[in-house]
Structure 1
Amino acid sequence: MFWTSYLLAVLALILAWPVPVLLSRAQWPARSPFTAMVLWQAIALAGGLSMIGAMLVYGLEPIGDNLIAGLKSLAGMVFNNEPTTALGFWHLFALSAAALLTAHLVFTLLLTYYKIERQRRRHRELLALLASPSQDGPGTVVINHDSPVAYCLPGGARSVTVLSDGLMAALEPAELRAVLIHENAHLSQRHDLLLWAFAAWRQALPWFPTTRLAQTAVNSLIEMLADDVALRTESKGTLIKAIAIVASGSSQPALGEFGGAQVGGINGNGAVQGLGRGQELAGGQALSVGGAVVEGGAVSATGGADSPRTTASRVSRLLSPKPPLTKPVRVLVLLASALLLAVPTALLIVPGLLG
């Protein structure tokens, strides 16, 4: 168990710094966004598992030859009031840290979900008052505003895509189709779940460079995935023009005072970022749409500090396309992702199963 804890600690350290830094600087993710997304998820899960596992295994080392035996001995100490003299100060510290970190991560995940759901509910109530149904398809509504805005609000059967009058007036029919396809891709591929998980991870560990890099990368990758869906039926020129028009709305802060309510691509009201870059408001600030001022509104396309970079990378990707990764390379990356999850899991569980 002694060496297992150190191996897990080394793996956690590698996944916390050099690996995400190198991956964030790599150029290949834009060529195969889905493959890169899987790798980022594997890094996050394996890193967290290794970090908690290293502390847990180290703490249990004096009372068991493997994790399962150590947990049984610890359970005996807790529930049967057995003596804990075998555990030194640092072992108790490691066990406490593992328990606190696990509880912190789970609590932050649930709290982030609760906040997003509450803000989405408020956002739907505002849309019910201020938006009107669109003729461009079911689940699409229009708000009365001159700035070009497009975003989607996830919610299962209640999911809705929101467009502005200004956007519809500025876009040609093909460009509008590209916007709608892009937003529907966010909804159908459940990008909100990815954004929620990585947002919670960053909220829980904001001092880790991994969390910031992963969140930024995921925000960009889901946009590229939605772009790829739009490209199946629309031309690159059409999509590029649509991105540029929607992104131009970011220079017109007519929707109210800018706030800091965005959480990893999900804005303060739970909306998922969309085709271009728009405005967003803090959950309690005023939003002016069509002459009405309401509280807790947010209109966002991508938003956030990294949106200009994300938009630029998407346009560059469309203007200077590179071939996707070859199938052998994609398979290799997916196998590496699976291996990242398998190694810490095996180090923790297999010794106990082997007795």
Structure 2
Amino acid sequence: MTAASLALAALALLLAWPVPILLGRARWASRSPAVALILWQAIALAGGLSMIGALLTFGLAPFGADLVSATINLLGGFEPSAGTWHLIALGAALLLATHLVLNLVVTVTRSELQRRRHASLVQLLSSPMADDPNSRLLDTPAPVAYCLPGALGSVTVFSAGLVDLLEEDELRAVIEHEKAHVAQRHDVVLVVFRAWHTSLPWFPIAYRAQREVGLLIEMLADDRARRTVADPVLARAIALVGSGAGDATAPGNPAEGFSPHDVRSRVLRIATAKPLPTAVEALIVGASAALIAVPTVLLLAPALAALVG
């Protein structure tokens, strides 16, 4: 399994540094944010599998020729002449996997508790909007709009300042934007990347991925709004809300506090960016699937080959 361990380590290094940097700089991502988001998720999943898999296969190498037989031998009490580095790698793989899973559970739990507390405060400090029982109006002059998605129900919050600032069609654009966050459950994607960053705070790519995914999700919601309102209307709404220090993201979202450059990027893409050709999008989705398949095959192929043989 040494060859598989080396291959997984090389893949983990690629997905930990050069690949995310190149994707973060890629101009095509804003043209097809949904496809770019799929690729980011594939990089995160394949990177995690590769990191853990490289350590696991190296640590289990003395116990058997493949992952399955080595695991069975280890659990069965087989005592090989395992070196210190093999034992360290095995322990590191178990610790890393446990750390990532526990951080995901903690982040999801904490996010849900924060959402419930925030929703309770919104109920106290706001009033229902006449045309939508799931929307609340805050009596504040700041232009604010965000959603609080939940498993059993979602709340969309707008401020009086936002309503006063925007024209009717611009307000409709913001409403459609927020509906996209709720309907497409963007909070689920965001919480996973937030957990990744929390698990590896010293890992600069984890922060970059969290931020890039937050911006892509805003672009996805913009595209949903474009189906209802004209592009110039949406662009004006984004510019007005952005200039007023409000944004269309839920509290806790890594997209909070978008810079003026990010706001300009969203406005500019509406005016100039064209979606990628379908064939190119299909190619990127295929590459995303391949990224996940490669570490899976490296981990399981030797055991499957042994069974077939």
Higher deviation after alignment, 239-248 or 186-195: 239-248
Q: Which residue of 2 aligns with 1:325?
A: 276
Query: Structure 1, residues 271-319: CA drift from partner, whole Å, max 9, x if none?
Result: x58xxxxxxxxxxxxxxxxxxxxxxxxxxxx423x44332121011123
Q: Which residue of 1 aligns with 2:134?
A: 139
> 1:135 Cα deviation (Å)?
1.9
SS at match of 1:354: helix
> 1:206 Cα deviation (Å)?
1.7
Q: Which residue of 1 aligns with 2:187?
A: 192
Q: Distance in 1 between matches of 2:36 and 2:132?
A: 32
> 1:266 Cα deviation (Å)?
5.6
Alignment of 1:1-355 (within 5 A): 1-77=1-77, 82-83=78-79, 85-250=80-245, 267-268=251-252, 272=253, 302-304=255-257, 306-319=258-271, 321-355=272-306
Q: Distance in 1 between matches of 2:200 and 2:262?
A: 23
> 1:204 Cα deviation (Å)?
0.5
| Kept after mapping to 1: 8 A contact 2:126/2:138 | yes
Q: Which amino acid in the other structure matches residue 328 of structure 1?
A: A
Query: Structure 1, residues 37-58: CA drift from partner, whole Å, max 9, x if none?
Result: 0000000000000000000000
Q: Which amino acid in the other structure matches residue 260 of structure 2?
A: P
Cα gap change, 1:152/1:195 in structure 2, threshold over 3 Å: closer, same or farther?
A: same
Q: Distance in 1 between matches of 2:282 and 2:207?
A: 27
SS at match of 1:163: strand
Identity fraction in percent: 52
TM-score by length of 2: 0.95
> 1:128 Cα deviation (Å)?
1.4
Query: Structure 1, residues 64-99: CA drift from partner, whole Å, max 9, x if none?
Result: 00000111111112xxxx53x521100000000000
Higher deviation after alignment, 134-143 or 43-52: 134-143
> 1:213 Cα deviation (Å)?
1.7
Q: Distance in 2 between matches of 1:136 and 1:179?
A: 15
Q: Distance in 1 between matches of 2:287 and 2:218?
A: 24
Q: Structure 2: 5+ residue runs without aligned partners?
A: none
Q: Distance in 1 between matches of 2:179 and 2:139?
A: 21
Q: Which amino acid in the other structure matches residue 215 of structure 2?
A: S
Q: Which amino acid in the other structure matches residue 265 of structure 2?
A: S
Q: Distance in 1 between matches of 2:132 and 2:116?
A: 22
> 1:350 Cα deviation (Å)?
1.4
> 1:137 Cα deviation (Å)?
1.8
SS at match of 1:234: coil
| Kept after mapping to 2: 8 A contact 1:53/1:348 | yes
Larger helix percent: 2
Q: Structure 1: 5+ residue runs without aligned partners?
A: 252-264, 274-301
> 1:11 Cα deviation (Å)?
0.3
SS at match of 1:157: coil
Q: Distance in 2 between matches of 1:184 and 1:246?
A: 17
Of structures 1 and 2, the one scoring higher in RCO (CA 8 A, sep 6+) is 2
SS at match of 1:156: coil
Query: Structure 1, residues 116-171: CA drift from partner, whole Å, max 9, x if none?
Result: 11111111111111110002323100010011110001113320100001111111
Q: Which amino acid in the other structure matches residue 148 of structure 2?
A: L
> 1:209 Cα deviation (Å)?
2.6
Count of residues paired in the alignment: 304
How large is the Cα RMSD of the aligned pairs? 1.5
| Kept after mapping to 1: 8 A contact 2:39/2:285 | yes
Q: Distance in 1 between matches of 2:50 and 2:199?
A: 16
Query: Structure 1, residues 191-228: CA drift from partner, whole Å, max 9, x if none?
Result: 00010000000110122232122111101100110000
| Kept after mapping to 1: 8 A contact 2:60/2:70 | yes
Q: Which amino acid in the other structure matches residue 283 of structure 2?
A: L
